Structure 1
Amino acid sequence: MPLTTIAKLLQEARHVVVFTGAGVSAESGIPTFRDALTGLWSRFDPAQLATAEAFRADPGLCWGWYEWRRLKVLQAQPNAAHLAIAELAQHVPKPTVVTQNVDDLHERAGSQDVIHLHGSLRAPRCIDCGHAHVTSLPSNELPVDGCRLEPPRCAECNGYIRPGVVWFGEMLPESAWSAGLTAAGNCDLFFSIGTSGVVFPAAELPLRALGAGARVVHVNPVRFEVSGQEVFLQGPASVMQELVESAFG
């Protein structure tokens, strides 16, 4: 489907859901979770650092890696895709942003009330009692590549503070998942950007939108199979800037 036709759908939409994956943040220089690690971190498999068992076995290693990832986010800036998605709020009666990313680039671009399906690097909590932990943003004490870092302790129970992200084997946050399903079921236009759409349960969202009668548009640089009811727009996430400009000038 031509970009101009998708722009027309955007002009006519009342409720637009934008569902984003790692491909959006990658354009800001943030490595995707499945990218090969570089430097000293290349000795480790990300999947083996992203479980509660791994954290309990070696808290310093896991905390150091996630703090290194947080440093990468602090150093990054929102890209054209983040800015275009945030701009939708000026043109669309109801925009909803749902993301699998754990950074804050959507918020820094100006998007409001972002639904984080996989948690956030900005929301660490105690691994034992779940008490929220407030982190300071200065990066002067963040670790270099491959450096272990002792996690802070919980003010309530003295347990270790863990990253506020969803690890392998964990459920998605119930409130975020419920909000995402509701938005997908109530929208008339659904964009899936920078995600392959094959990892469940998150991949259920475009299916929910389709089942409710919404148009679904996938934006990705690598083409993958979609049903005859869906639209595929091949290109980087930043093509959203061209799409928004085409729709609204």
Structure 2
Amino acid sequence: MDSAIERTGAALARAERILVITGAGVSADSGMPTYRGLGGLYNGRTEEGLPIEAALSGPMLRDNPALCWKYLAELGKACLNAQPNAGHEAIAELQRLKPECWVLTQNIDGFHRRAGSPVERLIEIHGELAPLYCQSCGQEDAGLAERLDGPRPPKCVRCGGVLRPPVVLFEEMLPEAAINTLYAELRKGFDAVLLVGTTASFPYIIEPVMRTRAAGGFTAEVNPGLTDLSSVVEERMVGRALDIMPRLLSHIPR
């Protein structure tokens, strides 16, 4: 694997426009349990016997906001109680060294921001946890931590409407601004795409890899297991982002 890290590091060093795509596996190294869907927190069914996709869905927030918020609160607490790790920090450093390096993340934990990734080159395709806002009047509510321990669902102090985080729940559309930004950058082309800790099962992950390969660019992945794109990328580095990303970064001149 050392040779794969060396070859990938050399390719990233040569590249100018880079896209790093991250999934739940990056945050698993911070103690967040992995899950294919929202935020990388849950597996299987809830205490109520529901698939977690149903509990954390737009329809559930509408029809039974207390139940939806039971699991949103667990998700929020897990994110707030964990910290970015060396994988997030290495990605932020790569962005510092490469001014045209973008990060596309499926995670809603905010760890890339906290590790120092510039907001103007960060696409949070599933949204983020804060600030909460009122679904009725739009009023923002900055007290995420306090709301997680309060009554569920939390209510707007101005109108009494149900608050929600700006995340993409199951059965909801992806944020238009994030999609537009991604495809605007994709049209410019990338010299390299690096998948880190993602199972690569969504079209907006697969397309950048396929487009970049077709245009002669470099593609690689960091993951403990096989993914849908393992047979497509040029280089595979088997392991945790926490261990591999700092080693990759060591091959890029300061």
Counterpart of 2:57 (choices 43, 51, 54) is: 51
Give 2:225's aligned residue.
222
Partner of 1:237: 241
Give the letter for the 1:223 counterpart. Answer: L
Q: Deviations over 1:164-186 (max 9, x none)?
A: 11122222111101212233342
- Please give the per-residue CA displacement for 1:17-72, whole angstroms capped at 9, x wherever unaligned: 1111111111111223444369x858542111122211122111211211221111
| Equivalent of 1:36 in 32, 36, 43 | 43
- Counting helix residues as a fraction of each chain, which structure ranks higher? 2
Aligned residues: 242
Supply the distance in 2 between the matched residues of 1:201 and 1:13 (Cα, whole angstroms): 21
In the alignment, what sits opposite 1:115? 123
For residues 102 and 154 of structure 1, the distance between their equivalents in structure 2, rounded to whole angstroms, comes to 25
Matches within 5 A, 1:41-80: 41=47, 43-80=49-86
Aligned CA distance change for structure 1 residues 112 and 92 (closer, same or farther; 3 Å): same
Paired residues of 1:82 and 1:105 also in contact (CA < 8 A): yes
Q: Match for 1:187: what amino acid?
A: F
CA apart distance, 1:148: 7.0
**Partner SS state of residue 248, structure 1:** coil
Comparing 204-213 with 14-23, which one deviates more in the overlay? 204-213
> Partners in 2 of 1:211 and 1:128 — Cα distance?
46
Structure 2 partner of 1:198: 201
**3-state DSSP of counterpart to 1:219:** strand
Task: Supply the distance in 2 between the matched residues of 1:180 and 1:215 (Cα, whole angstroms).
Answer: 18
Say if 1:151 and 1:160, in contact at 8 Å, map to a contact too: yes
Unaligned 5+ segments in structure 2 are 37-41
TM-score by length of 2: 0.84
Separation of aligned partners in 2, 1:184 and 1:227: 22
What is the TM-score of this pair, normalised by structure 1? Answer: 0.85
Residue type of the partner of 1:152?
Answer: K
Structure 1: which amino acid aligns with 2:129? L
Question: In 2 relative to 1, CA 178–13 (structure 1 residues): closer, same or farther, beyond 3 Å?
Answer: same
Residues 220 and 233 in structure 2, CA contact (< 8 A), matched pair in contact too: no
Q: Secondary structure in 2 aligned to 1:87?
A: helix
Asked if the contact 1:184–1:190 (Cα under 8 Å) also holds between the matched residues in 2, the reply is: no
Higher mean C-alpha displacement, 203-212 vs 166-175: 203-212
Q: Where does 1:95-110 land on structure 2 (aligned, <5 Å)?
A: 95-110=101-116
Contact map agreement 1:123 1:132 (CA 8 A) in 2: no
Distance 1:227 1:49, change over 3 A: same
Q: 2:59–2:171: 8 Å Cα contact kept in structure 1?
A: no
Q: What RMSD, in angstroms, separates the aligned Cα atoms of the two structures?
A: 2.6
SS in 2 for 1:84: helix
What percentage of residue pairs aligned between the two structures are identical?
33
Q: C-alpha distance in 2, partners of 1:41/1:248?
A: 51
Letter in 1 for 2:12: L
Moved more, 237-246 or 161-170: 161-170
Structure 1 runs not aligned, ≥5 long:
none
